[in-house]
Amino acid sequence: MKPVELRAAGSSADRAVRGTTGRGLALLTAVVITTLLAACQSPVRLMPTPVSFRTGEIDPFKTAGPKSHSTDVPVLYVTNRGAIVETPEPIHTILPSERLRMGVAHVRIGDHTLDWETLHRLSTSDDRDERPIVKLDWLEPLVSLGPTDTVVNSPGAQAFFALVNKALAATDNNELVIYVHGSNNTMPRAAAQAAQLRHFTGRRIVVLAFVWPSAGSLLRYFTDGGNAKASVKPFARLVELLAEHTDVSAIDVLAYSAGAQVVSPALALLGTSPRPGETRQQLRERLRLKHIYFAAADIDTRQFINELSKYVDIVTGVSNAANLNDSALRVAAIVHRASRIGRPDPTELDPEQSGFLLEASRSLGFDLIKVDPNAIPKLPPNSHAFWYEDPWVSSDLLGLLLLNAEPQRRGLTAQDAPQGTRYWAFPPDFDDRVMKLFSPALVPAPAQAPPESGAPAATSDQARPAVPDSRM
């Protein structure tokens, strides 16, 4: 296999506090800004090793080629941020743009003194050494595509999508994951999070960071809300461009925190915008959306449920991982006067919404995942960043993205809420269960040639081979 180069829920107390006005509301606003955004902001350090890989018995990097044995972890990026300077080193603004700027983010784990052997040890053990910083080295812009520009008339866009295809060809199933960050984020931080997601797949997956124009400031949470809204159409356009101009067999999405304010309405927009005469099945086949995973989603519960009903039938499945003790979303609910789907209050739903939620959780592929600090060892009680900070949750996420495993197969257990809604919980022996899932799946398989362009993708649940790096 040739190296791939990327260059060119709510308590009564909560509801009572929501009625606060005047100076009290101003104080609460300050609290939410500090609490919510602090949860999304800090130097990005290498996340704890997923529990599935911590004993060293299962090595996700075992089939990675020598060129993947590097501290460099480049990822694709697309942003709708405005730009003061496009090339050679772009300078982006916090203002939304209708243009899609695409390229490669070159990310490094650790400084130049960190070698692969040390990084490999840190990534396959419960090593207590200080985790190295994950840092964006530089951006390699390839194209700036205007709202009316077409790919056929843009050599830069053609080069970008050709690069996507080259990366996809090094996998066994041509799938791609789009990572959508939360509030208080910068381009470097978003790229770093996307890179460490890719790293802990054993470099087996193609990851693209959609970097919407978060202001990256503790004081601009509400600016971020407006910018997220302005990013809905650009994100929907990106999905359509990937589906139309690449060989991708399936598109997965990981939306974290306020990234849900981009992804959820964008998917609803796609679900209600078929081409003339296009059936629901044809729309599903055209977009090729697969797993949609919301982690600590900061979006109104009622809005989310309404939007889910518009797209749940055109994706393979939707997961919502929620910590009911999430302190960031608790305060966000007070300020917005409505619960967030990452910490939902079912009593806010009307009968029709409640009925749909029950149906979706049982028969429409909507998986509610309870991230319970009382059940998951060492999970901070008020955790908002659990998808990457907790080894159990990250293992569950990787089981979905890497192995296409449904919740029960990943080791989760089904539970029923009082109103009948189905949700999934982490059992006490989840660590043993998920290791059994990964153990046979990551045994190296004989190398296979990448499929020809346009050839049908593999549909088995076998683990993906590593995507080789040559500055990826």
Other CB atoms within a 10 A radius of the CB of residue 88 amount to 9
Question: What mean pLDDT do residues 457-461 have?
Answer: 37
The Cα 141–Cα 89 span in angstroms is: 8
Q: With 70 as the cut, is the pLDDT of residue 224 above it? A: yes
Q: If residue 162 lies in a helix (H) or strand (E), which one and from where to where? A: helix 155-169
Query: Euclidean distance between the first and final Cα of the chain, in Å?
Result: 14
Q: In which residue are the tokens 């996998």 written?
A: 171
- Supply the pLDDT for residue 218: 62
Contact 302, 348 (CB under 8 A): yes
Q: If residue 282 lies in a helix (H) or strand (E), which one and from where to where? A: helix 280-287
Entry pTM: 0.88
Contact 41, 184 (CB under 8 A): yes
Bridge partners, 321 (sequence order): 295, 369
For the chain, helix (H) and strand (E) counts, in that order, are 16, 11
Nearest to 208 by CA among 216, 218, 198, 221: 198
Q: Assign 206 a pLDDT band (cuts: 50, 70, 90).
A: very high
Contact 79, 43 (CB under 8 A): no
Of 128-137, 210-219, 421-430, the range with the highest mean pLDDT is 421-430
Q: With 60 as the cut, is the pLDDT of residue 24 above it? A: no
Question: What mean pLDDT do residues 381-390 have?
Answer: 97
What is the three-class DSSP state of 188? helix
Q: With 60 as the cut, is the pLDDT of residue 468 above it? A: no
Q: In what order do the strands lie in the sheet with 134-145?
A: 134-145, 91-109, 75-85, 206-211, 175-180, 250-256, 289-295, 315-322, 366-370, 422-425, 413-416
- Supply the pLDDT for residue 451: 36
Q: Assign 63 a pLDDT band (cuts: 50, 70, 90).
A: confident
Q: With 90 as the cut, is the pLDDT of residue 39 above it? A: no
Q: Which residue has the higher pLDDT, 231 or 467?
A: 231
Q: Assign 110 a pLDDT band (cuts: 50, 70, 90).
A: very high
- Supply the pLDDT for residue 442: 65
Q: With 60 as the cut, is the pLDDT of residue 449 above it? A: no
- Supply the pLDDT for residue 339: 98
Look at 61-65, 85-89, 241-245 and tell me which has the smallest mean pLDDT. Answer: 61-65
Helices (H), 364-464: 386-389, 391-403, 407-410, 430-441
Query: For 289-347, how does the pLDDT look when each residue is reduced to its tens digit (9 = 90+)?
Result: 999 999 999 999 999 999 999 999 999 999 999 999 999 999 999 999 999 999 999 99
- Exposed (0-12), middle (13-18) or buried (19+): which is 95, by Cβ within 10 Å? middle
- Supply the pLDDT for residue 151: 97
Query: For 420-442, how does the pLDDT look when each residue is reduced to its tens digit (9 = 90+)?
Result: 999 999 999 999 999 999 987 66
